[in-house]
Amino acid sequence: MTIDPPITIRFSKPLSIKLFKHWIKEIFENRPNSFNLWGHPIWLGPTKVHVYNIDCYYWKTFFLDITHNGIIAIMPNDRYMDIAYVGDKFVCRHCGYVSDADRVGAYNLKKRVKDPEISLWTPRDRVKAILSLRFSFRN
């Protein structure tokens, strides 16, 4: 197995210890979780966790180093061989806009950081209902 270069995500500001512990608990101790991950966190300090993960959708393993400053993900290069995932593109059904799905997803997350109705723990169906309602009022 070969390894791709690590993926690094930096938070704009460090998480508090209380929020960091709550976040790790939400991801790895509550079942089912919205992140679709299974793993056992190994605490290396109050703000550092190492996790051997399994993606419950593709049943592939990968490694996460999570700190209050960000996340480093190390994945095998055969991680997502599913043709539907590799090179995903987003196509707007309303206007026909085409872009990379990850880019559009990151843009949408950035827009909703301060949204009072949608948080990290809002269920996917609820987010979809909120956004559909907003879109129908806009058009």
| Ranges of each domain in the chain | 1-81, 87-139
pTM > 0.85: no
For 24-83, write each residue's pLDDT tens digit: 888 887 766 666 677 888 899 999 999 887 766 666 677 888 999 998 888 766 544 433
For 68-120, write each residue's pLDDT tens digit: 999 888 876 654 443 334 457 777 766 777 777 777 777 777 777 788 888 77
8 neighbors 72 (Cβ within 8 angstroms): yes
98 neighbors 90 (Cβ within 8 angstroms): yes
Residue 121 has pLDDT above 60, yes or no: yes
24 neighbors 66 (Cβ within 8 angstroms): yes
Residues constituting the chain: 139
DSSP secondary structure letters along 92-123? -TTT--EEEHHHHHHHHHHHTTT-SS--TTS-
